[in-house]
Amino acid sequence: MIERTVLVKLKESFASEDSRREVACHSQEVLARVPGVTGVAIAVAADETTAGSWDLVITVRFAALEDVPIYRAHPVHRTYVDDYLRPRAEILKAWNFKTV
């Protein structure tokens, strides 16, 4: 299994508790609909120290690494990233991991 982990630092105007929750809920709903995704987990910063660096962590699961480029190019994902997440994010960092 592959886990794509995305750390999100929101722009200051979106870094409130309510905005974090809204971004988390929307992300969960949209990303789960992209073909090839076997699971989505979203977590928000649990304390002020973490929130100072990152607001959300998004984990998207796939059966195989080959599914990741298909997911990244899919129109639902592209619209989500380009029209929804990027306008709200100051920093996005993503990595792929395989479970052992």
pTM, two decimal places: 0.92
Distance CA 60, CA 2 (A): 8
> How many residues comprise the chain?
100
Domains identified in the chain, total number: 1
Residue 16 confidence (pLDDT) above 90? no
pLDDT in tens, 54-96: 999 999 999 999 999 999 999 999 999 999 999 999 999 999 9
Query: For residue 47, what is the domain's CATH number?
Result: 3.30.70.100
For residue 68, give its domain range: 2-98
Give the number of other CB atoms < 10 A from CB of residue 76.
Answer: 14
Amino acid identity of 21? R
